[in-house]
Structures are given as C-alpha cells and as structure tokens.
Homo-oligomer: A and B are copies of this chain.
C-alpha cells in the first residue's frame, strides 16, 4: 500500500517509490517521479524534496544528474516534447495535403497536453525566468520550432485554397489554448462537471471535438 502524505496544497499523494521501477536508471526515475507528482497535484509547483522522495533517491542525486531543480524541469520539458517535435518533422516530410497535416498536428498537440497536463504551466514558469539558459534553450528547441511549423502549415493551407486567410500567430494561441485548458484544469473541475472528465474515452472525444471545431472554423 502506498504511503499517502498530505503535501503541496493538501492533496494526498504517494511519496514512496513505485514498485517495479528498479530497472529504470535513476535519471529517468527522477523525471518520471516529477511528471507523476505534477499530474497528481494538478500543478507544476512540486518541491525537489517530494520528487526525490517519490523517486526513492536522495536530493543530492538530483544535483548530480541535473545540476539542480531548474535542470530537472528543463530535462522534463525536453523529454515530454521530444515526440511532438519528431512527429512535426515527419509531418512536413509527408505528401499529405495541408488540411490533413493540420489535422494530424492538432491531434498531436491534444495528445501531448493530455499526457503531460502540466506542460503549459511548466513552460510558462521556465520562460518567465527569461535571463536563464533554460529559457533560451526552451525557446530555440521547442517553442520557436512549434510556432514556425504551425505558421508554415497554415500558410500552405491558405496558399492551397484549403484554409480561409487567417493570421497563423493568432491561430497558434487558439489551437494551443483550446487543446490545453481542459487538461491543465481537469483536477479543479472534476467535482464541478463530474468525474467523466478524466477517462481515456473523454480524452479521445475531447481531442476529436477540438479538431472538428477548429478545422471547421478555418476551412475555406
């Protein structure tokens, strides 16, 4: 049985290592522990102490692997966004038409935020500290490529006559916001709208609805 303890906003979370993870390297174990705690607590504001405890390692090991908490958070962002970025590159290499590409792109964004609901909060936190190296690395390795890839998709779609003329930068905020809000707010809405919000079926349906509304909204 998990050792439940009230921490971080009085939500009961397990702080003991999960069983069957002994084969993961300590670095991955720490990233996984941070990810799980952020999901359970509904916020990226998780203490280093809680992360280390959950991973079953001591806090100095975090310093050894990541140089400190910011390094760990940065590595988590890189872990969580690696697949999206790879998919985005793959998407550009396909022969699909722009509308089909945009559909796969929105679906990838919805999947990323459903899997890592803390991601927007974590990115905002790291970007706000705008004089740090972490912030620069996030901008150049994730945020800028995502914005530019989406700009290109939208411009291709407009040029092909498949999309109505629309400002890609404004559409960026609409798409990311529409995909992200449910997932980032799910915990706090759970007892307002009922617990159906967290099932995998609702997630699939939600992603389908976002794609449907936005594609219908931008189609020429």
Contacts and interface: CB of A to CB of B under 8 A. Distances in A.
Interface of A: 9-11, 42-43, 120, 123-124, 127-131, 139, 143-144, 147, 164, 166-167, 169-171, 173-174, 176-182, 184-185, 187-189, 191-193, 205-206, 209-210, 212-218
A171 B9 contact: no
14 contacts: A11-B128, A120-B181, A127-B188, A139-B192, A144-B192, A164-B216, A170-B205, A170-B206, A174-B181, A174-B213, A176-B181, A215-B217, A216-B216, A216-B218
A156 to B, nearest CB: 18
Nearest to A213: B217
Contact of A177 (B10, B129, B181, B217): B181
Copies held by the complex = 2
A128 B169 contact: no
A205 to B, nearest CB: 7
Given A166-B209, A173-B206, A218-B213, A188 B9 contact: no
For the residues of A in contact with B, the DSSP-based class is: helix
Nearest to A218: B213
Nearest to A183: B173
A128 B181 CA distance: 15
A35 to B, nearest CB: 18
A47 to B, nearest CB: 15
